[in-house]
Amino acid sequence: DSGVTQTPKHLITATGQRVTLRCSPRSGDLSVYWYQQSLDQGLQFLIQYYNGEERAKGNILERFSAQQFPDLHSELNLSSLELGDSALYFCASSVQESSGNTIYFGEGSWLTVV
């Protein structure tokens, strides 16, 4: 158990809908990362937050957004969902903004868009 908690574990929704994935980082971790893993593209970095502020952006679509709240939990919002958004979404956390103490991953949220 990495200490990073993600909910929901599984989610099935229809195209065009909007979903929110939630992440609770390890106790004391200030930095949160989101990754997407689909069958044909491996693990893709989406976005990083540190203590409530966006720090780095990867291949995140404009239909996707994220935020980190004062209690340090984070949410990834996915809207206007398409079939291709079906994937496993991972959250990770680390103590420092610069991840000197390495990054620990949650178990992921499975999103199926039908």
Partner 1 sequence: DAKTTQPTSMDCAEGRAANLPCNHSTISGNEYVYWYRQIHSQGPQYIIHGLKNNETNEMASLIITEDRKSSTLILPHATLRDTAVYYCIVRVPYSSASKIIFGSGTRLSIRP
Which positions lie near partner 1, rule CB under 8 A?
2, 4, 33, 35, 42-43, 45, 48, 55-56, 58, 88, 90, 92, 96-100, 102-108
Shortest distance (Å) from residue 19 CB to partner 1: 19
Minimum distance of partner 1 from residue 98's CB (angstroms): 5
Residue 111 corresponds to which tokens in the numbers above? Answer: 């999103």
Q: What span, in angstroms and rounded, lies between the C-alpha atoms of 111 and 102? A: 26
Residue placing its CB nearer to partner 1 in the complex, 81 or 104: 104
